[in-house]
Amino acid sequence: MPSTAPLAREYVAPSLVLRRRRFDWGARTYLMGIINVTPDSFSGDGILGDPAAAAALATRFEAEGADILDIGAESSRPGAPELDPADELRRLLPALEAVRAATDLPLSIDTYHPAVAEVALAHGADAINDIMGLRRDPFMAALAARTGCTLIAMHNQRGRPFRDVADDIRAGFDATLTRAASTGIDPSRIILDPGFGFGWTPEQNLEMVRRLPELWSLRTPLLLGPSRKSTLGLLLGTAVDERIEGTAALTALGAAAGADIIRVHDVAAMRRVLKVTDAVARANWQYQPGDSRG
């Protein structure tokens, strides 16, 4: 018979409160809805120059069960041109202001430019989502420490030598956490992202999901972003807008393996997936005495 022993995952990170919403790590898997304010998003969902459309998407995501929204104005697909921070802000701010007026959901800003992050925080953003994991610009860490905002930091494997999937992610996370500690960032406000699709082969992306439990010992909430990624297109032989089943599979597998937040384009469908996944996977998780969550 299959084992019914609880999974030995210990949570020591306290609950996180963002804009009066409480994230109790381990209680369930949370959903991040993606709003791309770009003309060249890999997923074909970019909204550029239409703040009303961004606000409408935010309102829809809230109704569908999103817990947090992530707004980005620069495409992170391979080969995409890097934007000047001033150009990024020109794209971002109208949409950010419209979304902030339309919803009280927590908002994160997908940027690796401190100048963009600082202005976004002043206009109602609650978190920075840095795909460079504080490893590109030291001013990003200083900004996060000074403002006390929540930091989502990704390990980006692009341009880095490969040794082992889990070891490389852990090395990246160690560098991020060392920089965060040296600048005084509150560790309870850090979320780590292993970087699905950022410098990995399709096989390595799938291995990453299988090996997520190896990252539990970091005792830091984990975010996974597999939505509509090219790995799914190669596996399924489908176009970017026909990958919902593959996204659902990785959403379920990632949540069962310990991802605390899943970053997705299809909020309503993935909320249904997670209701079932959490009912199976999280019901057996065991929390240790002295857990600081409420």
Distance CA 156, CA 114 (A): 17
Residue 287 counted as domain residue: no
Residue 24 counted as domain residue: no
Q: What is the pLDDT of residue 147?
A: 98
> Residue 41 belongs to what domain range?
29-280
The letter for the amino acid at 145 is: A
The letter for the amino acid at 230 is: S
Residue 45 counted as domain residue: yes
Most confident of 6-15, 67-76, 122-131: 122-131
Q: What is the pLDDT of residue 81?
A: 78
What are 105-119's pLDDT values in tens digits? 999 999 999 999 999
What are 210-233's pLDDT values in tens digits? 999 999 999 999 999 999 999 999
pLDDT bin (cut points 50, 70, 90) of residue 294 is: very low
Distance CA 29, CA 67 (A): 10
**Catalytic positions:** 229, 263
Distance CA 186, CA 139 (A): 16
Closest alpha carbon to 200 in 170, 236, 179, 229? 229
Closest alpha carbon to 260 in 65, 67, 9, 29? 29
Q: What is the pLDDT of residue 7?
A: 54
Residue 290 counted as domain residue: no
State the total domains in the chain: 1
Q: What is the pLDDT of residue 5?
A: 43
Q: Which residues pair with 21 in a beta bridge?
A: 18
Q: What is the pLDDT of residue 45?
A: 53
What is the arrangement of strands in the sheet containing 223-224, beginning at the earlier edge strand? 190-193, 150-154, 127-130, 107-110, 68-72, 30-36, 261-264, 223-224
Q: What is the pLDDT of residue 2?
A: 46
Give the DSSP H or E segment for 120: helix 114-122
Question: Residue 225 has which token pair?
Answer: 């972003």
Residue 1 counted as domain residue: no
Closest alpha carbon to 31 in 249, 269, 279? 269
Residue 183 counted as domain residue: yes
Closest alpha carbon to 92 in 35, 37, 34, 42? 37
The DSSP symbol for 44 reads S
Whichever domain contains 186, its CATH number is: 3.20.20.20
Q: What is the pLDDT of residue 293?
A: 35
Give the DSSP H or E segment for 92: helix 85-102
Give the DSSP H or E segment for 59: helix 51-64
Mean pLDDT calculated for residue range 119-130 = 98
For the entire predicted model, the pTM comes to 0.91
Helices (H), 158-284: 165-183, 202-210, 230-236, 244-256, 267-281
The letter for the amino acid at 105 is: L
Residue 287 scores a pLDDT above 60: no
List C-alpha distances in Å: 73 to 54, 62, 147, 151, 249: 12, 20, 22, 18, 28
What are 138-163's pLDDT values in tens digits? 999 999 999 999 999 999 999 999 99
Question: Residue 248 has which token pair?
Answer: 């659902």
Name the 3-class secondary structure at 42.
coil
Residue 215 counted as domain residue: yes
What are 44-99's pLDDT values in tens digits? 455 767 899 999 999 999 999 999 999 999 987 777 778 999 999 999 999 999 99
Residue whose pair of structure tokens reads 């890999």 in the numeric block? 42
